Amino acid sequence: MISLDTETTGIDLRHGAKPFFVTICDENDNQSFWEWDVNPITREPEIQYEDLKEIQTVINESDEIVLQNTKFDVAALQTIFLGELQWNWDKVQDTLIAGHLLGSNEPHDLTSMALKYLRVNIQPYEDRLDKACNEARRLARSEYPDWRIAKKGLPEMPSAKEKTWKYDTWLPRAIALEKDYKSLHPWWRVCSEYANTDSAITIRLWKAQERLLKKRGLWNIYRERCKLLRVVYEIERKGVTLSGQRVQESIKKFVEESEDLEQRCTNIAKSYDYELELPKTGNNISGPIQIATACNAHGGTDRHDFESETFVTYAIQERAVSENTKNGPQGKGFQEGLGFTLEARHQQQSVAYRTTGNNGVFETGDQIGALNCATDPNQQIVNVASAVRRLTPRECERLQAFPDDWTRWGADGKEISNSARYRILGNAVTVNVAEWIGRRIMEVTS
């Protein structure tokens, strides 16, 4: 088992950023690293071909490779391997994925997770590098004005913000080389010490995370998520092309297959003298249903499809229900059919009216009534003060295909607040959707 990390001239790999430092650490804390000078005018690392052969050999001979954010490091390596890096995704262990599983509401940078899971503080190494880089940047601007120092607005680094010193971690060594500093000067090794600490900590962090994943019964979930790394990497590298014609052909094919399978199931049931009633997929306008339907922007007609046309909904803009008349909404304050982003406020954020009877009657009253699923089309229903309640965290977990209470507890065993759970679930990816997309991409590309 090895851990691998890269240091790059930026994060915009498609705009010219490349690794200038690669570090590898094994289980016995034996480290190897390759550091290349960076041309300060072009920001191009001066890569040695023999070094790439050595790196590839170590990667090939390893049974497991541990990384923090695998996609980025592999993409970075490909820039200097000219796309010819041989990489086995089945060997990968990713501490970032493990960190999200073990504590989805906590920081997942290497420094924070090292402190949490290992009780090791590696922040001083970053602090020293920060100080050295900023001093080197000031010196370069004053004495070497033609050097291309990172800053916001440069075309080759569109992701650069106000703090750009991490784009120039190669610079202290470049200054030391230019000024011929003595070998003991800290600028020669301040970056290598920082990077090698990261690779050493990464492998130890993974061992701690692996134990916890298995202890909490999360191992199988972790392994499934790791399968998406290759899929997402390929999507980001190649992009995805969508054919409208093929989509329609696929929809038609799936509908026909569904109808055929439904008929087969019904026939099999009949052979055993059993009347099979399969769940309806739409146009369900009579008979009892077991679960109240979702609120949506259909209704107002004589038709009452429980599954798709049960309610008329209106979204309410923030401050539309404010008691302060001087602090109202922008515009009319509501819209039909499309909701505003749900926010952490206690006021109503949407209302729903169920159209009832042949005339679609709906009224409001003074008390909040429960949305029900009555089936009598002639019953005149009064849906009073129809404020749609917020989904519970458990309902949000089910919508995202997570197990119940998946986000209820933090890695420290403490219960997570509902507001934090909403934020976690809102930022999550729906599990079965991502899995389906990944599998289909793999089928198409294989």
Residue with tokens 């009253």: 365
Residue 280 pLDDT greater than 80, yes or no: no
Residue 385 pLDDT greater than 60, yes or no: no
Q: Which of 13-17, 237-241, 261-265 has the lowest mean pLDDT?
A: 237-241
What pLDDT is stored for residue 333 in this prediction?
Answer: 61
Which pLDDT band holds residue 273 (cuts at 50, 70, 90)?
confident
What pLDDT is stored for residue 307 in this prediction?
Answer: 46
String of DSSP letters for 260-282: HHHHHHHHHHHHTT----PPP-S
Mean pLDDT within 257-286: 78
Residue with tokens 């600490």: 197
Helix 70-80 / helix 219-238 crossing angle, nearest 10 deg:
40
String of DSSP letters for 321-378: T-S-TTS--STTSEEESSPPPP-S-SS--EEEEE-BTTTTB----SS---------TT
Compare 274 and 350 and report the one with higher pLDDT. Answer: 274
Compare 331 and 31 and report the one with higher pLDDT. Answer: 31
Please, which residues bridge with residue 2 across strands? Answer: 26, 65
The rounded Cα 361 to chain-centroid distance in angstroms is 44
| Rounded CA separation 352/334 (Å) | 12
Pairing of strands 92-94, 65-67: parallel
Residue 321 pLDDT greater than 60, yes or no: no
The rounded Cα 5 to chain-centroid distance in angstroms is 21
String of DSSP letters for 381-422: ---TT-BPPPPPHHHHHHHTTPPTTTTTB-TTSPBPPHHHHH
In the numeric block, which tokens belong to residue 79? 């820039």
Which pLDDT band holds residue 206 (cuts at 50, 70, 90)?
very high
Residue 228 pLDDT greater than 80, yes or no: yes
Which pLDDT band holds residue 238 (cuts at 50, 70, 90)?
confident
Q: What residue spans define the domains of the chain?
A: 2-238, 394-445
106: DSSP letter = S
Mean pLDDT within 143-150: 95
| Rounded CA separation 312/350 (Å) | 11
Provide the CATH topology of domain 2-238. Nucleotidyltransferase; domain 5 (3.30.420)
Q: Which of 153-157, 287-291, 396-400, 426-430 has the lowest mean pLDDT?
A: 287-291
Which pLDDT band holds residue 46 (cuts at 50, 70, 90)?
very high
Other CB atoms within 10 A of residue 225 CB? 19
| Rounded CA separation 355/352 (Å) | 10
| Rounded CA separation 68/107 (Å) | 13
Mean pLDDT within 394-421: 88
| 410 touches 424 (CB < 8 A) | no
Mean pLDDT within 305-331: 51
In the numeric block, which tokens belong to residue 237? 């590298």
DSSP H or E stretch at residue 151: none
Q: Report the chain's mean pLDDT, rounded to a whole number.
A: 81
Pairing of strands 334-336, 311-316: antiparallel
Q: What share of the chain is helix, strand, coil (3-state, %, to 5)?
A: 45, 10, 45
